[in-house]
């Protein structure tokens, strides 16, 4: 593939090379371009913003950074553009302890981004996602540039995390391959898949070790309206009947429901905090949950600790910038 090149300059450090990543995230890197406006413009209208902010986002990248900041041996697999945003994103991963050996750059393409208008008074927003370089993450490209996934699913890899922000067939192909290799596969099907995508996903749920949606995604996939612990427990059981092993459904301020294979579903309430910005809370939960599993915690213990991390993230503004480091966790969570 001539239009792509592998970033040899971003190989991991000696320590990581020897041990290899335990956690691999295959997903999106998007820059967030956020314009704060007095009101959302009408069609044909031009407005000036009050202020502007650029942030690092994309669900895959958020989850990798959430894990990396806690100290996980984590690697990201993605495609960014050949622009400054792509270079900035790679730098951002490095600062957060994320291995970028398999973050590829597409020549002549812009990095993926989200254009976001936020109405200052109401916080209402409008978002347009431009996948740009991430569209290049096809099965063909990833297989060819990674020796049929050998480069990012090495023996050291025990956990794979995927979301729903890159081409779906790639996500499903990687999930199946990782499962075949005995890797514990985590699928956070966010953002919510379309009804036709749900049908495409269903036959692949047998390759998913842990399915981790929020209320909206769980509702869409099972047809059960998830609004509280009891309805989430029913949805979790329905997902297990579709072939998933373990299920964790996050419920915002209401916490989460966990259903491990062969056990009853349990509802664990949220931690009471004053939330100021819940953007990326789900990604904080997923990334930190997998970090804790990667250091030997059980799924149940890992979820309890992820609940602490996600509740800390909602108390700060920003997405990745609100995720806690290990040193910031309360002593009993370290």
In terms of C-beta density within 10 A (0-12 exposed, 13-18 middle, 19 or more buried), how is residue 93 classed? buried
Binding of ligand ADP by 152 (CB under 6 A)? no
- For helices 281-294 and 59-70, what crossing angle results, to 10°? 50
Residue among 32, 173, 246, 283 flagged as catalytic: 283
The footprint of ligand ADP on residues 234-293 (CB under 6 A) is: 250-253, 255-256, 270-271, 273, 275, 278, 281-282, 285
Residue 125 touching ligand ADP (CB under 6 A) = no
Contacts (Cβ under 8 Å, ≥6 apart) of 330: 308
Q: Which is nearer to ligand ADP, 59 or 106 (CB)?
A: 59
Binding mask 197-236 for ligand ADP (x = CB under 6 A): -----------------x----------------------
Query: Is 98 a binder of ligand ADP (CB under 6 A)?
Result: no
Q: Site residues for ligand ADP, window 293-312 (CB under 6 A)?
A: 307, 310-311
Strand partners, 204: none
Nearer to ligand ADP among residue 80 and residue 190 (C-beta): 190
In the chain, where does DSSP find H-type helix? 14-19, 59-70, 84-95, 139-145, 168-180, 195-201, 215-222, 229-241, 281-294, 299-313
Per-residue binding string, ligand ADP, 313-332, x by CB under 6 A, is -x------------------
- Closest CB to ligand ADP among residues 22, 190: 190
Residue 79 carries which DSSP code? E
- Which CB, 201 or 258, lies closer to ligand ADP? 258
CA distance 78 to 60: 9
Closer of 256 and 291 to ligand ADP (Cβ): 256
Q: Is 88 considered catalytic here? A: no
Tokens standing for residue 139? 């099965």
Which residue in this structure is represented by tokens 């664990």?
Answer: 268
Peptide bond into 68 cis (omega under 30): no
CA dist., res. 140 & res. 146, Å (int):
10
Residues forming the active site: 283
Binding interface with ligand ADP (CB under 6 A):
190, 214, 250-253, 255-256, 270-271, 273, 275, 278, 281-282, 285, 307, 310-311, 314
């Amino acid at each position: 593939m001539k239009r792509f090149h592998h970033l040899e300059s971003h190989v991991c450090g000696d320590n990581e090379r020897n041990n290899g990543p335990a956690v691999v995230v295959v997903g999106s890197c998007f820059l967030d371009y956020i314009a704060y406006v007095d009101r959302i413009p009408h069609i044909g209208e031009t407005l000036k913003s009050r202020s502007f902010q650029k942030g690092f986002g994309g669900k895959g990248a958020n989850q990798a950074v959430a894990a990396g900041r806690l100290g996980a041996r984590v690697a990201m697999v993605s495609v960014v553009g050949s622009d400054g945003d792509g270079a900035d994103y790679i730098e951002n991963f490095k600062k957060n302890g994320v291995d970028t050996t398999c973050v590829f750059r597409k020549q002549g393409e812009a990095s993926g981004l989200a254009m976001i208008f936020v109405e200052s008074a109401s916080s209402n927003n409008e978002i347009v996602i431009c996948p740009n370089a991430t569209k290049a993450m096809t099965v063909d490209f990833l297989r060819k540039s990674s020796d049929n996934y050998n480069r990012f699913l090495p023996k050291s890899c025990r956990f794979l995390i995927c979301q729903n922000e890159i081409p779906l067939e790639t996500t499903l192909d990687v999930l199946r391959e990782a499962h075949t290799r005995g890797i514990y596969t985590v699928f956070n099907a966010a953002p919510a898949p379309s009804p036709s995508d749900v049908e495409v996903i269903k036959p692949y749920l047998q390759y998913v070790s842990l399915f981790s949606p929020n209320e909206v995604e769980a509702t869409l996939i099972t047809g059960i309206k998830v609004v509280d612990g009891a309805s989430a427990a029913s949805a979790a059981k329905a997902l297990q009947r579709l072939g998933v092993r373990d299920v964790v459904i996050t419920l915002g301020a209401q916490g989460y429901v966990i259903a491990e294979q062969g056990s009853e579903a349990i509802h664990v309430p949220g931690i009471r905090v004053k939330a100021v910005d819940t953007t990326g809370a789900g990604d904080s939960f997923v990334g930190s949950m997998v970090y804790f599993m990667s250091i030997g915690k059980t799924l149940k213990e890992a979820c309890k600790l992820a609940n602490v991390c996600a509740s800390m993230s909602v108390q700060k503004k920003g997405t990745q910038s609100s995720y806690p480091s290990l040193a910031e966790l309360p002593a009993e969570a370290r």
